[in-house]
Structure 1
Amino acid sequence: MPLKGTSPFATFLIVGPTCFFLGILFALFPYDYHVLWTTPTAYKHASDMTIPPLTQYFALQENHLKFLHASPPLISRILHIVIGTGLLGFMMKLYKPSEANMLFDGASLVLYMCGIAVYIANIVKGLRTVTAGAYGADGLPTGATVNDGDIIGREDSLRVLAASNTILALVLAGVLILQAGQWYAQRKEAEEMEAMDKKDSDDRKAARQANHSHSSGGGNGKKKQ
């Protein structure tokens, strides 16, 4: 039996898309791991073993990102529908919210919107940059001048994309933790309320039994007289 106030279907609409996005990020993790977290060894399937290992993995990541960005429009539409499904779940749970909804679902919605902001500002923009190959000065308007330290090159751009994926994964994991925390808090509250109701019921039952025993004792005393 669902707990009161948990809105299981709305929670499913939130948890489902969140896990879906985490699955996508997990599929990208083999590419991000070598360019962000470790110094890789030589790629054994590389055609030219004289190329530095990190350069090989940057090329693998870049080619994969270009392939993703060149996906049919249906892919991006499905992705946006799933994003909208998560927002629908939050709207359902925050309609006439309880205190628990305001605390857990409100914080979850903030994290979810932060994830959408990272997706639009960093990931979508990064995919377009990678596809166009507009790294560093190549991506600047004609005639624009900047300091060399302000120009982000190819490798740094790919690292930013990998870091954005990691940030997005942490944000989405936070959504799942908050939803699990809400379920646990409401479950404990329901158990405490059930225990209190049972105690009250037992107290009333004991009181009725005491009154019945007192009445029976009084009646027997009158008969003996």
Structure 2
Amino acid sequence: MDPSKVSIFKTYEKPKGSRDSSSFATYMIIAPTCFFLGMLFSSFPYDFPLLWTSDVTPDAYYDQLETHLKFIHASPPIIPRILHMAISIGFIGFFIKLFKPSEANLLFDGASMVLYLIGVVVYITNIVKGLRIVTLGKYEAPPGTTEPAIGREDSLRVMAASNTILALVLVGVIVLQVGQWYAERKEQDEIESFEGKQAEKTAKKAEKGNTHVTRSASKKKADEHGMDSKRLRRLRGASPMNQIIAMPFKTFCYMAIQRSYK
């Protein structure tokens, strides 16, 4: 049974010779992803003392980190717009690749899109919300609310951890895209190798058939030539002229035999 008919998602056969992993849509996914990883790498020096060292973090460092985050949150509107445009470019790339998807697109691009969505959710729920809290300076829950609240240090650690989660998710997207490119290239090489072997076998069979036909034709011609030669000899031996020519020789032989008996 065809797996594409059993699955709830319909897949399509990829046209021969097409390479979706090297298409423009793939670059639309990888380029924003690398851009976001660069932004996260620029934040790594600020996140390192909070998560990746056992040394005690001084209070002055939290003040510096708060100032840095407030400066980012107060950036001109063009900055978040560029960021959101980059996020949209990634989604457009996924939508292009998942339009009439092949089985490889459904597996690799589907998983990549899930990771990309996870990254967007982490960005909205943790980072954007965290920047607003840091700007307002209201780490504690307002009176009369039942929402859990964490302190200043824990809030900054949550933002640093969110950056780490985002980095891992985006690296996963790139790994899946590279894996898709490798799988499609390997599959294409195997198809070309198989087609080459099949063409070679077909050529050998055709050559063998032509040789057999040539030999059969030669043998048939030789047989026909032999039959014609025998028939010609018979016709020559049975002709009246040959009998007249052979009669004196036969008479001479008969007389010689009679004299030998006398």
Pairwise same-fold verdict (TM > 0.5): yes
Whether the 8 Å CA contact 2:49–2:57 is kept in 1: the answer is no
Which of 173, 189, 192 does residue 191 from structure 1 map onto? 189
- Percent identity, aligned pairs only? 55
CA distance in 2, matches of 1:164, 1:72: 23
Deviations 1:142-185 (A, max 9, x none): x32669xx541111100000000000111111111111111111
After TM superposition, list the pairs within 5 Å mapping 1:28-39 onto structure 2. 28-39=43-54
1:23 matched to 2:38? The reply is yes
Amino acid at match of 2:169: V
CA distance in 2, matches of 1:124, 1:184: 36
- Structure 2 unaligned segments of length 5 or more: list them: 1-16, 224-262
CA distance in 2, matches of 1:53, 1:97: 50
Whether the 8 Å CA contact 2:109–2:177 is kept in 1: the answer is yes
**TM-score, normalised to structure 2's length?**
0.75
Amino acid at match of 1:159: R
Amino acid at match of 1:203: K
CA distance in 2, matches of 1:65, 1:29: 13
Amino acid at match of 1:114: I
1:6 aligns with 21
Aligned residues: 207
2:9 aligns with none
CA distance in 1, matches of 2:20, 2:81: 32
2:153 aligns with 155
CA distance in 1, matches of 2:54, 2:73: 26
Amino acid at match of 2:198: D
CA distance in 2, matches of 1:5, 1:53: 48
1:69 aligns with 73
Amino acid at match of 2:129: K
Computing the radius of gyration over CA atoms, which structure comes out larger, 1 or 2?
2
CA distance in 1, matches of 2:64, 2:221: 100
CA distance in 2, matches of 1:23, 1:75: 15
1:112 matched to 2:106? The reply is no
2:252 aligns with none
Which of 126, 132, 135 does residue 139 from structure 2 map onto? 135
CA distance in 2, matches of 1:194, 1:56: 64
2:232 aligns with none
2:87 aligns with 83
CA distance in 2, matches of 1:117, 1:151: 20
* Greater length-normalized contact order (CA 8 Å, ≥ 6 residues apart): 1
